[in-house]
């Protein structure tokens, strides 16, 4: 009985190693052998080693040295101007329509909640709440991530249940705890407003019936694909070392040296993979089962998308449940939970000073669009 209980998580770790070994990492094979002999903490530490190795020599060679712009470019990459999607080409007409729809409260049942209610573009694309308020003041169970740079991520939502921002945008409109609308209501409202009918025809000229739920999501996503925020760190990556202060560069070195880049790498400084929250030590408050809710695979319990850290200094509170308000505390929690490491105050402060350089600079300023008026046939708000 006891053996059975112990076997389960161990098997899932073994599967994970097996997957790494099969797919991407030659080192994982030798660890598999070790795995079959050991379990528990040692194995988890081995897993972390595998992860560090998987992410390549770039990260390893940077450990212990000052990270220069070229190395940073290899670890993180260059921020594009627009996060293109060949399946939904970004055009000026789609961006303009998508921007209006992003601010459009009439996409919600009550006509009082828009995307911008929970992803306020005046608040770095988040809402500053632990968990968001939706239809009839219902409280959700997860923290609203920023929409800024969200289109760069390899999948959408904390648990990655949508493959991209196009698929994602449909979720909140229909979610009974969020905007609580139906596809039919959305189409009826939009078709009753002549200026929207014209705007959909211009944005989707190839479609016979362009005012649809599908194109609503596509237009919003096209707008989101433009919401990328260059920062001082991008100037550093572009080859300007003095874009960061000495203290911030030290922070970057610490961020790399302690192993944060094992997971928070790529152009979003995260947003490129799933990982278990609590790889080494599970935080005791963590209840959300994360990706397990999507896959029902026991190995996915407490697995979440590694979030992008762009603008992280502007988007407290932190973590999937918005339970931590201090960035310094979030950094210490991460080091302990993910790397088994207790950071000193100085190390945590140093990392925070680096994270500050990921804030949009210049600040993103989005003007509020003028939305067209309803007609007499527009379905009324249902509060």
**Under the rule (CB under 6 A), what is the footprint of ligand HEC?**
113, 115, 117-119, 132, 134, 140, 142, 144-145, 147, 150, 153, 156-158, 165, 168-169, 172-173, 178-179, 220, 258-260, 262-264, 275, 277, 279, 304, 306-307, 309, 312, 315, 318-320, 330-331, 334-335, 338-339, 351
What are the tokens at 237? 């990556």
Nearest to ligand HEC of 106, 232 (CB atom):
106
Nearest to ligand HEC of 178, 248 (CB atom):
178
Catalytic residue among 104, 153, 166, 178: 178
Active site residue 178: yes
Place of tokens 């009974």: 176
34 CB-near residues (< 8 Å, 6+ apart): 43, 46
Shortest distance, position 362 Cβ to ligand HEC, whole Å:
22
Ranges assigned E (strand) in the chain: 274-276, 303-305
Place of tokens 């762009």: 310
Nearest to ligand HEC of 204, 354 (CB atom):
354
What are the tokens at 367? 């003007």
Shortest distance, position 380 Cβ to ligand HEC, whole Å:
20
CA dihedral 32, 33, 39, 45 (to 10 degrees): -60
Nearest one of 179, 182, 202, 91 to 132, comparing CA atoms: 179
Shortest distance, position 6 Cβ to ligand HEC, whole Å:
23
Stated length of the chain: 383
What's 107's DSSP letter? G
- State the Cα–Cα distance between residues 334 and 105, nearest whole angstrom: 37
Shortest distance, position 382 Cβ to ligand HEC, whole Å:
16
CA-CA distances (angstroms) from residue 71 to 133, 223, 280, 299? 42, 32, 27, 33
Nearest to ligand HEC of 165, 267 (CB atom):
165
What are the tokens at 197? 């009918």
Nearest to ligand HEC of 161, 238 (CB atom):
161
Shortest distance, position 168 Cβ to ligand HEC, whole Å:
5
List residues with catalytic annotation.
178
């Amino acid at each position: 009985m006891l053996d059975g209980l112990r076997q389960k998580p161990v098997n899932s770790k073994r599967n994970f190693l097996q997957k790494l070994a099969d797919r991407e990492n030659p080192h994982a094979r030798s660890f598999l052998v070790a795995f079959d002999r050991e379990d528990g903490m040692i194995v988890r530490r081995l897993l972390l080693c595998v992860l560090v190795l998987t992410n390549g020599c770039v990260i390893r060679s940077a450990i212990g040295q000052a990270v220069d712009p070229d190395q940073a470019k290899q670890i993180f990459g260059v921020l594009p101007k627009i996060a293109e999607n060949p399946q939904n080409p970004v055009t000026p007409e789609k961006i303009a329509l998508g921007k209006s729809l992003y601010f459009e409260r009439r996409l919600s049942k009550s006509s009082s909640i828009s995307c911008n209610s929970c992803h306020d573009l005046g608040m770095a694309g988040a809402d500053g709440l632990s968990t968001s308020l939706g239809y009839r003041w219902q409280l959700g169970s997860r923290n609203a991530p920023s929409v800024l740079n969200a289109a760069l991520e390899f999948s959408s939502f904390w648990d990655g249940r949508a493959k991209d921002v196009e698929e994602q945008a449909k979720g909140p409109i229909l979610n009974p705890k969020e905007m609580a609308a139906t596809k039919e209501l959305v189409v009826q409202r939009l078709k009753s407003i002549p200026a929207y009918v014209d705007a959909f025809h211009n944005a989707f000229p190839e479609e016979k019936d362009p005012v649809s739920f599908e194109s609503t999501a596509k237009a919003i996503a096209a707008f989101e694909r433009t919401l990328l925020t260059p920062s001082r760190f991008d100037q550093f990556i572009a080859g300007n070392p003095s874009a960061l202060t000495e203290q911030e560069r030290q922070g970057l070195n610490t961020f790399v040296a302690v192993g944060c880049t094992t997971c928070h790498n790529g152009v979003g400084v995260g947003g490129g993979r799933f990982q278990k929250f609590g790889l080494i030590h599970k935080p005791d408050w963590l209840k959300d089962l994360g990706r397990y809710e999507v896959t029902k695979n026991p190995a996915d319990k407490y697995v979440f998308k590694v979030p992008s850290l762009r603008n992280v200094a502007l988007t407290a509170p932190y973590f999937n449940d918005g339970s931590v308000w201090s960035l310094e505390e979030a950094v210490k929690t991460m080091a302990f939970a993910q790397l088994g490491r207790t950071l000193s105050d100085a190390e945590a402060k140093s990392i925070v000073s680096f994270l500050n350089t990921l804030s949009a600079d210049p600040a993103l300023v989005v003007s509020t669009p003028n939305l067209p008026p309803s007609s007499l046939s527009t379905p009324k708000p249902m509060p």
